[in-house]
């Protein structure tokens, strides 16, 4: 398969998985309500995203770097609000 097409698939997948966090981040920001969000899940998720970001940086993989940097900001924001608003 053409490497360009493979990168496009990677960026498309990265966009979908990154954008998926936006509605939750917006809802938490507006309502300041995090009662139904699992602290453990978001702790592990942010750690995993950080590790994927490091892996992407070390391997020079653009889709991994872009998606995990943005997703880490969104999930990290949710995590911070979870810690702040409980």
Digit-coded pLDDT (tens) for 66-85: 889 999 999 999 999 999 98
Return the pLDDT at 1.
Answer: 85
Q: Which position has the token pair 């994927």?
A: 52
- Given a cut of 70, the residues of the chain with pLDDT beneath it are none
What is the pLDDT at residue 14?
A: 86
Q: For the chain, how are helix, strand and coil distributed in percent, rounded to 5?
A: 85, 0, 15
CA distance 39 to 82: 7
pTM of the model: 0.81
Whether 68 and 49 have beta carbons less than 8 Å apart is answered as yes
Q: What angle do CA 23, 44, 24 make, to 5 degrees?
A: 10
Cα–Cα nearest to 14, from 41, 59, 49: 49
Q: What pLDDT is attached to residue 63?
A: 82
């Amino acid at each position: 398969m053409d490497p360009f097409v493979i990168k496009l698939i990677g960026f498309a997948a990265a966009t979908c998985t990154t954008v998926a966090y936006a509605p939750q981040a917006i809802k938490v920001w507006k309502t300041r309500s995090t009662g139904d969000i699992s602290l453990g899940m978001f702790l592990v998720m942010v750690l995993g995203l950080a590790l994927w970001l490091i892996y992407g940086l070390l391997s020079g993989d653009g889709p991994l770097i872009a998606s995990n940097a943005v997703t880490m900001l969104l999930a990290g924001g949710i995590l911070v609000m979870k810690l702040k608003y409980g």
